[in-house]
């Protein structure tokens, strides 16, 4: 048995790495979903609500059926339904996607808290993880390399999505709709349908991101489960310039910022804990200011987005 302090200060970066991988997964899923939605020319600010709703429904399903993977699937489905609701609402004339998004954000969280009340106490089965650190004698390394398969799915999804946007018919259509709706109409594609489907797919991914929260890390269901990851992921997409692979790196950055506080705590530094806890929010704010400054080009933004018009 090794003493936990044996790695000394090395424990901090190792814990940050482990924490980064864990914390970044929901960011990754939500931001990939939002990228897909925004590539079609819509912004879904309701993904925070989708995330919480996904977390709740995954937890409840896992508890009721004993299968956490079924929970993941249900979370995705619930997310897709919320996405569809957003998509259809925005297809109505004179409906603003930002306003609908905020309404769905409130609806999603409210509904999740209401329906999720009975599941705060019970313990649901958790998603298994891959023990990639088994070779190491250090418990810190072993803990850091306990990685959930969803992370790898997300990691694979990012380049796959980038490839798909450039090399498939669907990808081309989504980008057309997001960049020049008139051109898409001229070509005979239904802009409304493509956007609704894009928002639905984005909701699916965000729902899965939510299931990761309740079924793996932190791995419980309560009302304070999400601390704005869904909203921060929207910022993240802007910073990643609508590039799925960049979303992955930026997710790691956000994950790392969130993991900093707990990592320092693990080596016994508890001073300023809340200050470190604020790191992701400070990062969000800094990135927002940076990316919305008129001096920085919104190059890469789909032209049909309400923010680029």
Residues of this chain that interact with other proteins (CB under 8 A) are 166-170, 172, 175-176, 179-180, 182-183, 186-188, 293-303, 308
DSSP string, 201-215: HHHHHHHHHHHHHHH
Locus of tokens 């482990």: 18
Read off the DSSP letter of residue 151.
Answer: H
Sign for the CA dihedral angle at 196, 201, 205, 211 comes to: positive
Closest CB 34 distance from other proteins, rounded Å? 18
Task: Say if residue 72 is exposed, middle or buried (CB neighbours under 10 Å; 0-12, 13-18, 19+).
Answer: buried
Structure-block tokens of residue 75? 């979370």
Least gap, CB of 101 to other proteins (angstroms)? 23
Torsion of CA 32, 70, 66, 116, to 10 degrees: 60
The distance of closest approach from Cβ of residue 42 to other proteins in the complex, given in angstroms and rounded to an integer, is 16
Nearer to other proteins, 159 or 300 (CB): 300
Residue 62 or 247 having the CB closest to other proteins = 247
What would the two tokens of residue 126 be?
A: 């958790």
Pick between residue 143 and residue 288 the one whose CB is nearest to other proteins: 288
- Least separation in angstroms between CB 304 and other proteins: 10
Closest distance to other proteins from the beta carbon of 187 (Å): 6
Judged by beta carbon, residue 102 or residue 298, the one nearer other proteins is: 298
* 1 vs 299 by CB, closer to other proteins: 299
Angle at 241 between CA 237 and CA 246, to 5 degrees: 75
């Amino acid at each position: 048995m090794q003493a936990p302090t044996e790695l000394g200060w090395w424990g901090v970066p190792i814990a940050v790495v482990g924490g980064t991988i864990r914390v970044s997964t929901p960011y990754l899923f939500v931001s990939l979903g939002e990228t897909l939605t925004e590539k079609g020319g819509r912004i879904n600010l309701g993904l925070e609500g989708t995330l919480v709703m996904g977390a709740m429904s995954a937890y409840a399903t896992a508890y009721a059926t004993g299968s956490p993977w079924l929970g993941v699937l249900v979370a995705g489905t619930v997310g897709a339904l919320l996405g569809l609701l957003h998509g259809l609402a925005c297809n109505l004339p004179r409906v603003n996607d930002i306003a609908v998004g905020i309404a769905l954000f409130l609806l999603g969280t409210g509904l999740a808290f209401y329906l999720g009340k009975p599941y705060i106490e019970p313990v649901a089965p958790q998603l298994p993880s891959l023990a990639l650190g088994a070779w190491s004698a250090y418990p810190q390394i072993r803990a850091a390399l306990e990685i959930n398969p969803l992370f790898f799915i997300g990691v694979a999804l990012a380049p796959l999505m980038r490839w798909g946007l450039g090399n498939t018919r669907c990808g081309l259509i989504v980008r057309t709709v997001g960049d020049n709706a008139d051109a898409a109409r001229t070509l005979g594609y239904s802009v409304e349908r493509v956007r609704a489907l894009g928002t639905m797919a984005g909701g699916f991914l965000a729902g899965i991101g939510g299931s990761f929260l309740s079924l793996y890390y932190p791995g419980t269901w309560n009302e304070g489960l999400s601390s704005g990851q869904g909203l921060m992921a929207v910022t993240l997409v802007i910073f990643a310039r609508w590039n799925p692979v960049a979303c992955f790196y930026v997710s790691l950055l956000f994950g790392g910022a969130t993991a900093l506080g707990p990592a320092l705590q693990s080596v016994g530094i508890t001073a300023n804990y809340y200050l470190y806890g604020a790191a992701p929010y400070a990062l969000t704010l800094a990135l927002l200011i940076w990316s919305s400054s008129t001096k920085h080009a919104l190059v890469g933004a789909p032209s049909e987005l309400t923010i680029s018009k």
